[in-house]
Amino acid sequence: MSEDKEQKTPESSIEQKAETKTTENIVENTVEQNEVPIETTPEESTQEIVEATVETDVLEEIDDSNAEDAEDIDTVKRHDIPMPDYHEMSMENLVGELQRLVKNEKVQAIRKHVDTIKDEFNQKFDEFLEEKKEEFTSNGGNEIDFRYNSVDKRQFNEVYNEYRDKRNQHYKSLEKSHKENLAYRLDLIEQLKALVNVEEDINTTYNNFKDIQAKWRHAGPIPKANYNNVWKTYHHHIEIFYDFLNINRELRDLDFKHNLEEKGKIVARAEELAVEPDLNRAFRELQVLHKIWKEDLGPVSKDHREDIWDRFSAATKIIHERRQDYFKNLDKIKDENLKRKNAIIEEINGISEKISTNHGTLQQQIKKIEELREAFFNAGQVPQKVNSKTWNSFKGAVRKFNHNKNAFYKNLKKDQQDNLDKKRALLDVAISLKESEDWDAATSEMKRIQGEWKKVGHVPRKYSDKLWKDFKNACNHYFDRLNALKNDAFKEEEDNYKQKEACIERLKSFELTGKQDKDLASIKKFTEEWKTFGRVPFKKKNINQKFDKIIDALFLKMGVSKQESELLKYGNKIQQLSNDDNQERAIQNERAFIRKKIDESKTEIRQLENNLEFFSNASENNPLVQDVIKRVNQHKESLDAWKAKLKKLNILKNNLNKEVEETENSSEEE
């Protein structure tokens, strides 16, 4: 907003002027309208009107947004909450997105998001319900008896009701504080008006003025409807006070100088934002700059007033025009989306008019319709003015296809009878297997018939529930017996765990003799014994880590380095591989695992060394630098250990290859 002009009336007429401009009838336009008229040509006048309209539009948009933010400072956060394309989301994803917003964001900052999600969900649910109704009637049901219990709909209603309750509770508590803050601000205006009539030292009056300004800045939010009018009234009386302050120009000029410096900073930042790539970020920050200009700063001297405002206005106009261009391009994208959606609707209508009379072909058409539906939802947003029309056309096309499809399947009673025979046969198999002791074969067959059951189509409704119940009971009976058998295996794992616990206790009491060969042999016996115990329950497998830690501690006491200890322990692994029934496959898998670990170690080292470059100017005593260096060294040690293991593995592989060659040569000689 342009700076209010300096009052030209003498100081003696200030009181009279204040009486003619009352608090109730102040109307202050966003763009200055009390300038002295200047003669212009018709062309210049038209251009000025266009520019003034553009400027007024953007400033009004900024004022409205700032008024909304001022009502509740938490609504500012709505600018930072991403607005995904909810049109592309499924009902389940829409419910999840609504839950996330209600749980993590301020309820007053997500109104537009929630309203958009609600519209999209209702549209998708209506279509889904139509499909289910068509399916119900096609199976012989009466439309008046149709009922459908949707989990997605129930969850959506629960979350939306939670949002609505939070929102109502928030605004109810906010209403009282808004009224109190409004009354407080109006009282500050009255105190400001009284300053020009008080008879006291001008310095005291000026200090009281500054105190009122400070209180105003911290007075709290007021209703949006009152925001602009209250601010304009306040600003008007600020202007009157500055006219009154003419009697002490030194104080006024100091304020003018301060305001000019601060507004210069704002203009400089606005000019930077004019070339900011992120338009949404630029416009949001521009709103903040206008808010500071309008609320926190007073006028500047007349000599600088027009120049400083013109610069600010010019930068604002540039950002606005760039934003307008962006939305024009967005409109083009929506028009292209509309063309794609209309083409999809036409294709669905084409298929609906040529419904196949062959089951296999009709299934292909159903699949094609699903693909077209998915393509429709992924095609993006269309212009708002045709959104409902496009959606209704899409629903009508899909509904027409479903109607024709269901009409075809009404005549497929024979297929349903065949499906009934298939499911009865599968039920007979399930009953015959439920007491089987041949666990491997029976389990495989049970899983197979369960998969087959899912593939079989619909059966007559009067048989479906009982048939499914009998089949499920037979399967459950068998798998309950199988689980009981697994529980016996769990008992064996518990016994293994107890044996390992006892081994650890003996290992804890083991004392080194100081003779490395002898001590290594003793430790090897412990590890060999450990391998004989078998598996333990999954939740207790950390006992293996305890064993490894004790072994590592013993190696450390013996003066064996970590890398050496790893290689010593790896010798046991090498022995296992050499005794494996399928040596070649076991070695191949182990080599792939080690190479993966080597690559991971190299990646970690490279990443950490890159991170060190960010501390190029930091001292090596910096804790962060020391931590990174420590981690680099740890990964390098680990890398060396993995490379040494790979070397041992390669030696094993080479030895095995030699044995194979010698065996083959021996066979040839014979």
Q: Dump the DSSP string for 515-540.
A: -HHHHHHHHHHHHHHHHTT----GGG
- Secondary structure letter of residue 601 according to DSSP: H
Q: Please, are residues 357 and 396 in contact by the beta-carbon 8 Å criterion?
A: no
Query: Quick check: 401 pLDDT over 50?
Result: yes
pTM for this one?
0.36
Read off the pLDDT band of 75 (50, 70, 90).
low
Q: Which residue, among 288, 295, 255, has the nearest Cα to 273 in the 3D structure? A: 288
* Arithmetic mean of pLDDT, 105-110: 80
Instruction: Name, in order, each residue with C-beta under 8 angstroms of 126's C-beta and a sequence gap of 6 or more.
Output: 395
- Residue 2 phi/psi, 5-degree rounding, is -70, 150
Query: Quick check: 44 pLDDT over 60?
Result: no
Query: Quick check: 179 pLDDT over 50?
Result: yes
Read off the pLDDT band of 18 (50, 70, 90).
very low
Q: How far is CA 177 from CA 180, 182, 232, 296, in A?
A: 5, 8, 21, 22
pLDDT attached to residue 421: 87
pLDDT tens by residue, 455-512: 888 787 788 888 899 989 989 988 888 887 777 667 778 888 888 889 888 888 888 8
* Arithmetic mean of pLDDT, 165-169: 84
Decide: helix, strand or coil at residue 71: helix
Q: Which of 152-166, 226-240, 315-329 has the highest mean pLDDT?
A: 152-166
* Arithmetic mean of pLDDT, 103-115: 84
pLDDT attached to residue 52: 47
Query: Quick check: 529 pLDDT over 70?
Result: yes
Q: Please, are residues 488 and 532 in contact by the beta-carbon 8 Å criterion?
A: no
Q: How far is CA 323 from CA 1, 279, 320, 330, 474, in A?
A: 20, 7, 5, 10, 67
Q: Please, are residues 404 and 448 in contact by the beta-carbon 8 Å criterion?
A: no
Q: How far is CA 511 from CA 517, 523, 566, in A?
A: 14, 11, 21
CA geometry: angle at 22 spanning 21 and 27, to 5°?
70
Higher pLDDT, 23 or 311: 311
Instruction: Name, in order, each residue with C-beta under 8 angstroms of 276's C-beta and a sequence gap of 6 or more.
Output: 282, 285
pLDDT attached to residue 34: 32
pLDDT attached to residue 51: 45
Mean pLDDT (the chain) is 76
Read off the pLDDT band of 648 (50, 70, 90).
confident
Q: Which of 59-63, 69-73, 350-354, 655-659 has the highest mean pLDDT?
A: 350-354
Query: Quick check: 154 pLDDT over 70?
Result: yes
CB count within 10 Å of CB 609 equals 13
Query: Quick check: 453 pLDDT over 50?
Result: yes
- Secondary structure letter of residue 37 according to DSSP: P
Percent of the chain surpassing pLDDT 70: 78
The gap between the terminal CA atoms of the chain, to the nearest Å, is 106
Residues 603, 606, 610, 615, CA torsion sign:
positive
Q: H or E element: which one contains 549?
A: helix 543-557
Token pair of 206 as six digits: 């000026």
Q: Please, are residues 377 and 88 in contact by the beta-carbon 8 Å criterion?
A: yes
What amino acid is encoded at 605 in this protein?
I
Q: Please, are residues 348 and 372 in contact by the beta-carbon 8 Å criterion?
A: yes
Instruction: Name, in order, each residue with C-beta under 8 angstroms of 459's C-beta and a sequence gap of 6 or more.
Output: 416, 419, 420, 423, 467
pLDDT tens by residue, 343-358: 998 888 888 888 887 7
Token pair of 207 as six digits: 């200090």
Q: Catalogue all structural domains in the chain, each as residue range(s) with its CATH number.
A: 408-560 (no CATH), 570-669 (1.10.287)
pLDDT tens by residue, 215-241: 887 887 888 788 888 888 887 888 788
pLDDT tens by residue, 110-151: 888 888 888 888 888 887 887 777 777 766 666 677 777 888
Query: Quick check: 70 pLDDT over 70?
Result: no
Higher pLDDT, 56 or 620: 620
What amino acid is encoded at 584 in this protein?
E
Query: Quick check: 48 pLDDT over 70?
Result: no
Higher pLDDT, 540 or 3: 540
Distance CA 540, CA 507 (A): 19
Please give the distance of CA 597 from its chain centroid, rounded to a whole number. Answer: 32
Query: Quick check: 157 pLDDT over 80?
Result: yes
Read off the pLDDT band of 43 (50, 70, 90).
very low
Number of Cα atoms under 13 Å in the Cβ half of residue 619? 3
CA geometry: angle at 212 spanning 208 and 215, to 5°?
135
pLDDT attached to residue 561: 66
Number of Cα atoms under 13 Å in the Cβ half of residue 245? 26
Read off the pLDDT band of 56 (50, 70, 90).
low
Distance CA 362, CA 360 (A): 5
Read off the pLDDT band of 38 (50, 70, 90).
very low
Number of Cα atoms under 13 Å in the Cβ half of residue 221? 20
Query: Quick check: 103 pLDDT over 60?
Result: yes
Q: Please, are residues 444 and 479 in contact by the beta-carbon 8 Å criterion?
A: no
Q: Please, are residues 496 and 451 in contact by the beta-carbon 8 Å criterion?
A: no
pLDDT attached to residue 605: 85
Read off the pLDDT band of 47 (50, 70, 90).
very low
Query: Quick check: 257 pLDDT over 70?
Result: yes
Decide: helix, strand or coil at residue 45: helix
pLDDT attached to residue 12: 30
Query: Quick check: 246 pLDDT over 80?
Result: no
Distance CA 109, CA 113 (A): 9
Query: Quick check: 20 pLDDT over 60?
Result: no
* Arithmetic mean of pLDDT, 12-27: 32
* Arithmetic mean of pLDDT, 432-436: 87
- Secondary structure letter of residue 6 according to DSSP: P
Burial of 612 (0-12, 13-18, 19+ CB in 10 A): middle
